[in-house]
């Protein structure tokens, strides 16, 4: 299984089936771009055309993809969504970075008991995680 960036579970996402045919399983092996792994209350067939939505960021945060894999967990499913064009991958990566930074900011606020400006959290997160994020998560 490929490595997919794990979407923070504290930030809800929606996976919605798109009205497109399934991608043949043999074509899934040729997807060279990366994707996102997220929790879902339902399972999806490998190859299903889906749209990943992040309601927190409004209507523009919608990313078409293909289900690359789906695993049952104790109480839900972990779904790997592959993005098959570079524009969608780039946009999804940027939003995922914002999600990761926001999760980091909340964690820092809980630890310190004080509000942390998003700019400070972003600088800290980028200093700590940007190199591993940009390479390992989407290889």
Q: Answer with the residue of higher pLDDT: 40 or 22.
A: 40
Compute the distance between CA of residue 9 and CA of residue 70 in angstroms, rounded to an integer.
16
CATH code where residue 114 lies:
2.40.10
**pLDDT tens figures, 9-26:** 777 888 888 876 555 554
Number of domains in the chain: 1
**pLDDT tens figures, 63-90:** 899 998 999 999 999 999 988 777 887 7
Q: What is the pLDDT of residue 132?
A: 64
* 117-52-8-120 Cα dihedral, nearest 10 degrees: -20
Task: For strands 5-6 and 35-40, give the pairing.
Answer: parallel
Q: Which of 2, 3, 6 is nearest to 96 (CA)?
A: 6
Q: What is the pLDDT of residue 134?
A: 57
Helix axes 118-135, 86-112, angle to 10 degrees: 130
Query: Which range marks the domain in which residue 36 is found?
Result: 5-138
């Amino acid at each position: 299984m490929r490595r997919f960036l794990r979407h923070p579970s504290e930030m809800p996402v929606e996976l919605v089936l798109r009205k497109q045919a399934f991608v043949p399983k043999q074509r899934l092996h040729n997807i060279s771009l990366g994707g996102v792994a997220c929790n879902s209350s339902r399972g999806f067939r490998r190859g299903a055309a889906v749209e990943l939505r992040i309601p927190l960021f409004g209507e523009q945060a919608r990313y078409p993809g293909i289900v690359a894999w789906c695993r049952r967990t104790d109480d839900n499913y972990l779904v790997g969504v592959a993005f098959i064009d570079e524009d969608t991958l780039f946009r999804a990566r940027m939003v995922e970075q914002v999600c990761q930074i926001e999760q980091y900011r909340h964690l820092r606020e809980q630890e310190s008991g004080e509000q942390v400006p998003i700019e400070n959290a972003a600088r800290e997160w980028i200093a700590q995680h940007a190199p591993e994020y940009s390479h390992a998560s989407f290889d």
